[in-house]
Amino acid sequence: MSAPAVLVTGGAGYIGSHTCKALAHAGFLPVTLDNLVHGHEWAVKWGPLIKADLADINAVDAVFAAYHPEAVLHFAAFAYVGESVVAPEKYYRNNIGGTLNLLDVMLGHGCRHIVFSSTCATYGIPTTVPISEDQIQRPINPYGWSKLMVEQILSDYERAHPIRYCALRYFNAAGADPEGVIGEDHSPETHLIPLLIEAALGRRPAVEIFGTDYPTPDGTAVRDYIHVGDLAQAHERALAHLLNGGESACLNIGTGRGHSIREVIRAVQSVTGRQVPITDSPRRPGDPPTLVADPRRATEILGWFPRAADLQTIIATAVKWHQAHHRRAPRELNSRPLTSSPCPPAGARKPVEPSPHVPVG
């Protein structure tokens, strides 16, 4: 008997590809739909790859006709926070328009279950920490608004149509596949841990820290870092929840533990045995001092909990990946990066060089 198919939009991206591996190990056939604007063909290893864009509704319909997926895991989205501020139309058109096409095709083919890749950016500046799902959602950038709008669309579709969904609001994804098969490879890279690792390995000159005067123990921003493998398992558990008749839900996916930027720097230095060159700069507007999840509801509903919650363990998997896969970084080192993070960034990025920088999944 063949494995049941699950459509994974953005399955060639960082979190999507790790989730495809988890799905395959759970007995599913992950069918990746990705336009490869920012995903990687080499990351699709556990099922077929269909090179297509959600904007092409006929191509999406053809995938459903060919594979008859039982459910959808929806990662495909542009996710650079800074870019969303200067090009909001791009984010609303892609993140919302693509989702509407996907939902309409799902309905046409009788597919009733979707797990949506949401974000803690829907909360904006939190009023209390740790952040529970009941906290008011007030995004501070178009990226966060686009994700919150999709959550609202899913809720409205469920009232009008026989669709169930899980929206997973996750915090700062980090780490890599412990077996070293896949890992994090963004261009441009804006996430803190890979930037620090590249600086430690001598692949970039320094990492700039934005804000050293926050009301935190060491003055730098605090974030909740969740291993990408644990994120993948959360998606697989959410899928099982829906297929077993579970109710729709919006859930935080994090560790419930926060680490400051300086703590992360020390951990990277401990794992690599090398110093990380850094420079301190003023805060950036809109960076909250602390973002930490309250993940208890995900444990209660999905039976999920993070297995690699220790920061050094998370970093060690990332270091293993980066040591084995030398980044192709010249284009990144010669221009200004865009701010990107599932959550508002933790105040770190590479410095801008004095001379002569919209992802899916």
pLDDT in tens, 107-130: 999 999 999 999 999 999 999 999
**Minimum mean pLDDT range among 60-74, 284-298, 326-340:** 326-340
Strand 49-51 and strand 29-34: the pairing is parallel
Give the DSSP letter of residue 293.
Answer: B
User: In what order do the strands lie in the sheet containing 5-9?
Assistant: 49-51, 29-34, 5-9, 71-74, 113-119, 164-170, 249-253
Cβ(146)–Cβ(77) below 8 Å:
yes
pLDDT of residue 346: 52
List the Cα angle 240/245/250 in 5-degree steps: 70
The stretch 333-338 carries a mean pLDDT of 30
Contact 47, 20 (CB under 8 A): yes
The residue assigned the tokens 């008997």 is: 1
Strands (E), 175-323: 207-210, 222-223, 225-227, 249-253, 259-260, 278-281, 290-291
Give the residue, 123 or 358, on which the prediction is more confident: 123
Structure tokens at 103: 């939902």
Confidence of residue 284 (pLDDT cuts 50, 70, 90): confident
Closest C-alpha to 192, from 212, 208, 176: 208
C-alpha distances in Å from residue 295, one per residue of 12, 74, 134, 164: 27, 21, 12, 21
Chain region(s) in the chain for CATH 3.40.50.720? 5-172+227-253
Confidence category of residue 285, pLDDT binned at 50, 70, 90: confident
Amino acid 343: pLDDT: 64
Q: Pairing mode, if any, of strands 207-210 and 348-349?
A: antiparallel
- Catalytic residue numbers, as ranges: 143
Residues whose CB is less than 8 angstroms from the CB of residue 301 and which lie 6 or more positions away in sequence, other chains included: 241, 246, 249, 251
The arithmetic mean of pLDDT across residues 208-231, rounded, is 96
Say whether pLDDT at 220 is over 60.
Answer: yes
Where is average pLDDT lowest: 76-80, 211-215, 263-267, 327-331? 327-331
The pTM (predicted TM-score) of the whole model is: 0.90
Cβ atoms of residues 154 and 122 within 8 Å = no
Given pLDDT bands bounded at 50, 70 and 90, which one contains residue 339? very low
**3.40.50.2300, 3.40.50.720, 3.30.2320.50, 3.40.50.970: which CATH number matches 5-172+227-253?**
3.40.50.720
Lowest mean pLDDT among 113-127, 182-196, 259-273: 182-196
- Provide the pLDDT for residue 156: 98
Can you tell me which residue has the tokens 């058109």? 93
Name the least confident of 7-21, 131-145, 329-343.
329-343
| CATH superfamily for domain 174-224+257-292+308-349 | UDP-galactose 4-epimerase, domain 1 (3.90.25.10)
The Cα 161–Cα 155 span in angstroms is 10
Q: Label residue 326 by pLDDT band (50, 70, 90).
A: low
pLDDT > 90 fraction of the chain, expressed in percent and rounded:
83
**Average pLDDT for 20-40:** 97
With residue 194 as reference, give the H or E element that holds it: helix 192-200
pLDDT at 314 over 90: yes
Number of Cβ within 10 Å of residue 212's Cβ equals 17
Nearest 5°: phi and psi at 115? -105, 120
* pLDDT attached to residue 328: 44
Could you give the residue range(s) of every CATH 3.90.25.10 domain in the chain? 174-224+257-292+308-349
- Closest Cα partner for 329 from 220, 239, 223, 194? 194
- Position 325 scores a pLDDT of 83
Residue 185: both structure tokens together? 């490879």
CB 113 within 8 A of CB 46: no
Q: What is the pLDDT of residue 340?
A: 35
What's the mean per-residue pLDDT of the chain?
A: 90
Question: What mean pLDDT comes out for the span 237-242?
Answer: 98
What SS3 class is residue 242? helix
What's the pLDDT band for 342 if we cut at 50, 70, 90?
Answer: low
Q: What is the pLDDT of residue 253?
A: 98
